[in-house]
Amino acid sequence: CYLLSFSAILEVNGNLNCRCVKTTSDYISPKRYDSIELRPVGSTCRRIEIIIKLKSSAKVCVNPDAPWVKKLLKRIAGT
């Protein structure tokens, strides 16, 4: 029980600097993008985060596993 509690605390503390609480898999047209921020896995957040800033200044966290996001990342990487 102690180990489980300690593990849960580490998980919470390990994700304190994640910016995305929720993500969407809904398609967003590139015409609406102002910029894209890619945040890799690191010591402060244990998951990849992709944040799209829209021309309306809104920021949207997208699901990196969504098919359209995977295609977008491949296009950005040039592969």
Return the structure tokens found at 4: 């489980």
Contact 37, 53 (CB under 8 A): yes
| pLDDT, tens digit only, all 79 positions of the chain | 333 333 344 444 445 688 998 999 999 999 999 999 999 998 788 899 999 999 999 999 999 999 999 999 999 888 6
The residues with which 62 forms a beta bridge, in sequence order, are 24, 50
Give the pLDDT score at 71: 95
**CATH number of domain containing 8:** 2.40.50.40
**How far apart, in Å, do the first and last CA atoms of the chain sit?**
47
Number of domains present in the structure of the chain: 1
Neighbour count for residue 72 (Cβ, 10 Å): 20
Q: Can you tell me the distance from the alpha carbon of 74 to that of 63, in angstroms, rounded to the nearest whole number?
A: 15
Give the pLDDT score at 43: 78
Tell me the whole-structure pTM to 2 decimals: 0.75
Q: Tell me the residue range of the domain where 70 lies.
A: 2-77
Q: What secondary structure letter does DSSP report for 22?
A: S
